[in-house]
Structure 1
């Protein structure tokens, strides 16, 4: 019997004595059952009697993983067997297996009476059977934690960073309707969200400096990252004209021209079609030269495309003898000197 080999892998189960809600298994290739089998031992000519702690030495309340030397104390090829059976199997713990657990406190409990196999039943089970990490049902057979389970406050046992690799259970599933109802869930049980999400997760969408806009509050009416409505392309000119500041909170002014240029409606494209309706700047159509009125109301919307300044945009038409004539209405007089900034834009 490979006595030292028990040392190598009973502890592979004891390293993290309690399992978590993860379906992945973590198996070693170590034959625990063969080493812990009830055979005659301890007598003359008989093998040394083994227990879990023969190989898994306890120190400071935790149990160590056996080293190759412990295996070699019984097996001539112990080092080779140790490498093949234990090290590779414990290279990485699956998500959910890094938990807060004290072996010492549990083994002192009367219900366990120091018996490792009460939790690590796989150590003496059928070869190739359940993993040594006990399933969550083993933990909940003693630790009910119903309130914590209902609330999803799992970080009393599970390390928070380890929980992030787990898939949410059904009642926390972020399905297609989740975005619409997540606000209600978060307000009702914010601690539940914080098990997996940091505050910055909210801030990525919710700007604390301004109220949540209706386009974000009503995800059923919008698409593309929950910002624009499905018909936004056909309506965006009206919305951009009425609320340019809303657009500029996400989009740079150059984005307008880049898109308009590709569609031939930008001033930067030779022979470009005007994005404005007939009569917008000439007074010859039904829009009756409304560009002046709109420019006075919100010149920043004009500057979104016409961003070369008054000298190149306005004065090109609105100059003495120009086709646009004076931009001032009849009888207009200013009490400001021509050197004021508003006048100097056109009257240098």
Structure 2
């Protein structure tokens, strides 16, 4: 952005190839916003055109801590590690987009173009696991943003984190929508043999065209299924998340996604419905109007029916699955398909093998 306190807004948002968001939606903590106005010379349109094709910029940063903890009653994990902030996948529906507002950046285009790589993540993780008071509990890897987004190929921060967990036999799970996870299949398979890892794939649609619109830089659906099969064949417990389920956009695919995932080796399955916290409401409405103007009003009506008449209901027990007749129908369909294919639960992760790493010291080891 032009400054830490200013958000750029394009004149007339238009779909951008390779990006999920179409504009710099203002963050809720932005002090000021800038609106382009033509002065008669036309230069404003040149500036707007340049802003509509933003490059991906990665900032390296040192994290002061790396394990995040939560006590939410509707989240299955208590602690997580996120190697990156922002996500180049550009999923328009991503619930993590509003977190960029804390950086005084836009939850729109900035979220997928202004990325932050925690280059000391592995070192910080080793230090935190070595603390005397640490109690081993499974870590969820890459929850706020995908640990295997495209820049992982360059930075390999996720790989470094996994190597730390492997060395001390610490259990973890991860969820991704990038087939590049297979690059780490050997270490994942080794940890799986010790009951230390499970991998979930998020599959939103099997339609390549819809995927390219909603999650433009994530792996294509068939690539995710192929990666799922590779891990399953290597002995890694694999599951699938149909996420998010969106009325009149991808809800009709639920049964097909579950069938394809089971065929590819997934043995556990779950789903969540679309969540629209904070600025994500605007990002989503903008995308919907650009790509599906003929059904935008109907889609939002069904979403609101599932969210107590609002775009989003943050209440525990409701925000993940919604409520009302349409939400109940989705749940019934999911349960029927779940039983039909024989999905179950993945094996529990083993916390008993954990051996705390030695805390690094500035002095050389003499013995």
TM-score category (smaller protein): under 0.3
Larger-gyration structure (1/2): 1
Query: What's the TM-score, normalizing by structure 2?
Result: 0.22
Structure number with higher strand proportion? 2
Structure richer in helix, relative to its length = 1
